[in-house]
């Protein structure tokens, strides 16, 4: 089974979501799932981000982080499951167009809203206000983990795989 995770990674606003998403990805790998990640960002990942990914998710053997979204999205329907981690920023239109005509099951793992601390975080909040309801209507499942701090990455990975198995 092959799962692709779409993970927000733009600037520092998504550090917690990115870290938890890669932990979930690694837990799925430990369950025997072939996993890949697409990161949504606006710059090449820094050395510290690459190191964080390596530490939190040894399942990701080659984290490049610099493929274009268009290239990465060509392979979404080759997967058995696509998981979008939200809140997110970037490629909302591409994800929505793909979701409307997709072949692979589509889940959203909702980590919660970005806290508004400055103008750019307000833009991210408005972006999600626009895209998340539209994407939610296309999703097969939404896993809301924003208040689930007691759940381990493995618990979430097992829950996602259980939901996937109920679809097929």
pTM for this predicted structure: 0.86
- Name the residue among 149, 70, 81 with its Cα closest to residue 112: 149
Query: What three-state secondary structure class fits 144?
Result: strand
Residue 150 is predicted with a pLDDT of: 72
Residue 56 is predicted with a pLDDT of: 59
Contact 85, 112 (CB under 8 A): no
Residue 60 is predicted with a pLDDT of: 57
As for how many domains the chain has, the answer is: 1
What string of pLDDT tens digits covers the 168 residues of the chain? Answer: 899 999 887 777 888 888 889 889 999 999 999 998 887 765 555 666 666 666 655 555 444 454 566 677 777 888 899 999 999 888 888 899 999 998 899 999 999 988 899 999 999 999 999 999 999 999 999 999 987 667 889 999 999 999 999 998
Residue 117 is predicted with a pLDDT of: 93
Residue 43 is predicted with a pLDDT of: 54
Please report, to the nearest 10 degrees, the dihedral formed by the alpha carbons of residues 128, 20, 25, 89 taken in order: 20
Residue 107 is predicted with a pLDDT of: 96
Structural domain of residue 136, as residue ranges? 2-167
CATH of the domain at 21: 3.40.50.2300
Residue 90 is predicted with a pLDDT of: 82
Residue 16 is predicted with a pLDDT of: 86
Contact 76, 98 (CB under 8 A): yes
Q: Which residues of 20-29 are buried (b: 16+ CB within 10 A; e: fewer)?
A: bbbbbbbbbb
Residue 64 is predicted with a pLDDT of: 47
Please state the separation of Cα 154 from the chain's center in Å.
16
């Amino acid at each position: 089974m092959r799962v692709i995770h779409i993970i927000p990674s733009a600037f520092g606003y998504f550090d917690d979501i990115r870290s938890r998403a890669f932990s979930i990805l690694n837990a799925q790998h430990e369950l025997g799932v072939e996993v890949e990640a697409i990161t949504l960002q606006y710059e090449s990942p820094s050395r510290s981000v690459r190191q964080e990914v390596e530490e939190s998710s040894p399942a990701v053997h080659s984290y490049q982080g610099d493929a274009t979204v268009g290239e990465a999205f060509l392979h979404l329907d080759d997967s058995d499951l696509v998981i979008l981690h939200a809140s997110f920023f970037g490629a909302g239109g591409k994800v929505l167009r793909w979701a409307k005509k997709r072949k692979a099951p589509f889940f959203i793992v909702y980590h919660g809203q970005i806290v508004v601390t400055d103008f750019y975080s307000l833009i991210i909040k408005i972006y999600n206000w626009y895209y998340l309801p539209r994407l939610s209507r296309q999703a097969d499942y939404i896993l809301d983990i924003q208040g689930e701090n007691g759940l381990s990455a493995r618990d979430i990975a097992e829950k996602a795989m259980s939901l996937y198995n109920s679809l097929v």
